[in-house]
Structure 1
Amino acid sequence: MRRETLLIEVSPTQPDLAVINRAADILRGGGLVAFPTETVYGLGADALNPDAVKKIFSAKHRPTDNPMIVHVAALEDLRVLVDDISTEAIPLMKQFWPGPLTLIFRKSRQVSDAVTGGQETVAVRMPRNIIALALIRALGHPIAAPSANLSGRPSPTTGRHVLQDLKGEIDMILDGGPVEVGVESTVLDLSHRLPAILRPGSVTWEELEPFIGKVVPAAEGNLLKRSPGTRYRHYSPQARVTLVELADQKAIDRLIAHHTKKGIKVGILSRQPQSLHSNIDVVVRSMPQDLKVYAMQMFAIMRELDELGVDEMIIEKVEEKGIGVAIMDRLRRAASR
């Protein structure tokens, strides 16, 4: 049964505590609230209420074996979630929390299989967002929250994106404006013998290695199952996505000619747009040279081109260094069919 979804604008620096408490009451009653984090908007439920968590899967049309990240506001919140905190985790939490780093721990008995997708591990992070932290504190314990979008769609970076996907499916959206980072958190598994990155994000390999030594990307399927955003089709606009090499103007021109000849509307995301011009059949969006800004804008521009009726998106690859690794991970998944 569809419900009324209330969207409330909230100051990102001084959130109205009455609104935050109202949202916490919804969570306490088993409802769903979308809220901003520094990465993307999350769709929250009381992490200790399995029935509430199951509503997230229904609202998002999300596979039930896809685990969620549990969000905490203080290190003390870990006590209810994990049986043991490894020695490797302590310096990472001190350095990167609050922030866009998710750590995988062995879960406690109080964490339901609904949260973990049936895994023996739980993914946890502390968001770097005043609204998110205030909501967790108001509830009094952790919040389970995947991205607040329909499963498989580009992640939501504004409250309006959440409303587009989930209107009538959730109770409330706390609209704190555009997010700071724009791609999901880095997921680091500390429950295995060697620390492994299950999903790249804005916290890079280079930043992690001074704290725990060599970090490896996970390739084994059983490890990847412990993290969201690693197995199913993700981040995909309605339009078909084709990736081209950086500055490969000939490939872009060839694809434009191929598609427009068939009457197909094309969208272009390029960091070298000077030789490209929008017209009735082609929509060109100039992407920033700064990859941190690129990450912040990427999903919003994909959604914008969908709204403009684009059928095919041609996206130029970026260099895979720093946050570019996370950007290319999202673009490859968006292009997968």
Structure 2
Amino acid sequence: MTLLLDAKRDSDLQHAISLLRAGELVAVPTETVYGLAADARQPAAVSGIFAAKQRPANHPLIVHLGHIAQLEEWVTQVPDVALALANHFWPGPLTLVLPKATWVDPIVTGGRDTLALRIPAHPALRELLQRGNLAVAAPSANPHKGLSPTSAAQVMACMQGKLAAVLDGGDCTVGIESTIVDLTSAEPRVLRAGPITASTLADFLGSPVHHPQQHNVAVPGNMQVHYRPRTRLKLKTSAEVQLDPGYRVARLLLSEPQDPVSVGFALTRLMPQDKPAYARLLYRALHEADQLGAKEIWVELPPTSEDWADVQDRLGRAASS
């Protein structure tokens, strides 16, 4: 049985800490998506994440810290650029990839000699990490390649019985996974698009930040098929998404619907044109559309500007087959 705990209740927060210390899995809220957490210092507990998600063992995890000072424990060195980014963007949706400390178990890193770390901005998770003196490995709390959850209810719907508890901290305020930046080479590289763009990072650092369109570095989310609902997802132009398909379709639009209500549309959701608001609602809308028994989900293509790169990335992978 999976417990549903309330992050606002002190006794429930303490219970979540006790479960993690005991080697159990607990879904926790972050500002990005809900994470399936295990004590990162316990390899047996971390292995449970892979079993629960059916995730390949060579796919690295992100370790969530409570304090910047913990960096020195988990990596061999903290370069100046890492410390500058951490001090400016943490807590927040930025993950840094650095050479791992020798003691860190390969189960956490997918067998690699690098480690991905960040400090999350959700107040309940930060309180849990700091009060419990914990660091947790926590990929998204959903089956492998599935839609990331942005609410406790979504976690319960897809993972109940596979973990000890879900800590309900409300809906995620960012709603899309963190930016991942590799700091192991001379020039920082964005390995996963996220809410913090390469241009934002470059402006802060005053030096270039590379953002390759394709790379073969194993990081969370770097799979051709990922973030996928059970219902087939298709990306459509603003003209195509207005056409009556003749079968049941759920639509996520950026432009106003031009057609009368049609029995073919199981759902028509007008999404925000503001990028942060769109990202915050994207997975919630896809989860809703996925429950309707429609033949397909149609999503109007988002803008191609850099600030929409993370949305483009997630939708592109969700539509892959």
Bin the TM-score by the shorter chain: over 0.9
SS at match of 1:178: coil
Structure 1 equivalent of residue 277 of structure 2: 293
- Equivalent position to 1:133, from 115, 126, 132: 126
Rounded to whole Å, the distance in 2 between the matches of 1:71 and 1:61 is 21
Q: 8 Å contact 1:101–1:125 — kept in the other structure?
A: yes
Offset at residue 220 of structure 1 (A): 6.0
Offset at residue 321 of structure 1 (A): 2.7
Structure 2 equivalent of residue 9 of structure 1: 6
Amino acid at match of 1:106: P
- Equivalent position to 1:238, from 230, 243, 256: 230
Offset at residue 66 of structure 1 (A): 1.1
- Between the two proteins, the alignment pairs up a number of residues equal to 319
Structure 1 equivalent of residue 314 of structure 2: 330
Rounded to whole Å, the distance in 1 between the matches of 2:260 and 2:274 is 22
- Equivalent position to 1:215, from 209, 214, 217: 209
Rounded to whole Å, the distance in 1 between the matches of 2:78 and 2:279 is 31
Q: Which is further off, 302-311 or 211-220?
A: 211-220
SS at match of 1:274: coil
1:93 aligns with 2:121: no
SS at match of 2:80: coil
Show structure 2 runs of 5+ residues with no match.
none
Rounded to whole Å, the distance in 1 between the matches of 2:115 and 2:255 is 42
Structure 2 equivalent of residue 265 of structure 1: 248
**Residues 227-283 of structure 1: CA deviation (Å, up to 9, x unaligned):** 2001252110111111123x3x2x2245x43xx2xxx42111111133145443212
- Equivalent position to 2:268, from 284, 288, 303: 284
Q: TM-score, normalised by structure 2?
A: 0.95
Instruction: Give matches, 1:40-79, under 5 Å.
Output: 40-79=33-72
- Equivalent position to 2:241, from 252, 260, 277: 252
Structure 2 equivalent of residue 150 of structure 1: 143
- Equivalent position to 2:190, from 197, 212, 216: 197
Q: 8 Å contact 1:20–1:138 — kept in the other structure?
A: no
SS at match of 2:257: helix
Amino acid at match of 2:253: S
Root-mean-square deviation (CA, aligned residues, Å) is 1.5
Offset at residue 105 of structure 1 (A): 0.4
Q: 8 Å contact 1:32–1:171 — kept in the other structure?
A: yes
Offset at residue 219 of structure 1 (A): 5.2
Offset at residue 17 of structure 1 (A): 2.8
SS at match of 1:80: helix
Amino acid at match of 1:325: A
Rounded to whole Å, the distance in 1 between the matches of 2:224 and 2:198 is 23
1:112 aligns with 2:105: yes
Offset at residue 302 of structure 1 (A): 0.7
Rounded to whole Å, the distance in 2 between the matches of 1:278 and 1:206 is 41
Q: TM-score, normalised by structure 1?
A: 0.91
- Over 3 Å counting, the alpha-carbon distance change for 1:276 and 1:89 in structure 2 is farther
- Over 3 Å counting, the alpha-carbon distance change for 1:333 and 1:63 in structure 2 is same
Rounded to whole Å, the distance in 2 between the matches of 1:48 and 1:166 is 23
Q: Which is further off, 168-177 or 86-95?
A: 86-95
Amino acid at match of 1:318: P
Offset at residue 332 of structure 1 (A): 0.2
Amino acid at match of 1:117: G
Rounded to whole Å, the distance in 2 between the matches of 1:6 and 1:127 is 23
**Residues 98-128 of structure 1: CA deviation (Å, up to 9, x unaligned):** 0000000000012111111111100000000
Show structure 1 runs of 5+ residues with no match.
none
Offset at residue 139 of structure 1 (A): 2.6
